[in-house]
Amino acid sequence: MILSIDPDTGETINVTRSDDGSSDYADVEYPVNGLNIVKKNSESYLKAHLLLNEWMADYNPVIHAGTKPDLRIGHLMKVIGYYYDWFKTNRVPLPNLNETPGLIFNDREVIVNGETVLLTRRQNAVLQVLRNSRNQLSTRKILTKVDGLLGTITSYTRVSEIFKGKKEVFNACIERPSKGYYKLKEDF
């Protein structure tokens, strides 16, 4: 799969779409010009995640709304979505994000009431997104960013659902300044 950006519109486009429009992707079975497509797409998928993490590290959605950093983050999320779709469509296992240095899954535990609690990847990603934001974030923004980081599409509609079974972590780490908005507690 080859992705490009239209220089006039800034839109992310898939240039490997078949001529008749029936498929977005080249056949996975045959190497293209000697390239191993699965390996190349795996590398590109992981690279997109690394770049997204770099841009998200100090991203502020209020200050950067509508600016180039906001567009880059949106583009990277689209790229990750295209690759996610490619892996699922071709029934190729997703590359393992845990083995990629620099991604957010380094410390997946928190201490709550003196006890160490192991987090799921999604719970950890929520805390990471909130940690990287200086302002409160809406439910939709959090779920979108978490999906971008994990390369998933969630069915969750509330942040608290992600912490089902670990309410103590949610209550100790996250506060709701207003309905539908979340931020990390000051003492976390």
**Predicted local distance difference test score (pLDDT) of residue 174:** 93
Evaluate if residue 106 carries a pLDDT over 50: no
Evaluate if residue 182 carries a pLDDT over 90: yes
- Domain range for 11 is 1-96
- Whether residue 63 is found in the same domain as residue 144: no
- Whether residue 115 is found in the same domain as residue 185: yes
Phi-psi region of 113 (alpha: psi -120 to 50; beta: other; left: phi over 0): left
pLDDT category at 181 given cuts 50, 70, 90 is very high
Predicted TM-score (pTM) of the model is: 0.47
- Whether residue 38 is found in the same domain as residue 70: yes
10 Å CB burial of residue 6 (0-12, 13-18, 19+) is exposed
How many domains are contained in the chain?
Answer: 2
Residue after which a domain boundary falls, among 96, 121, 151: 96
- Whether residue 79 is found in the same domain as residue 133: no
Residue after which a domain boundary falls, among 75, 96, 117: 96
Residue after which a domain boundary falls, among 40, 75, 96: 96
Retrieve residue 26's tokens. Answer: 């080249």
- Whether residue 153 is found in the same domain as residue 121: yes
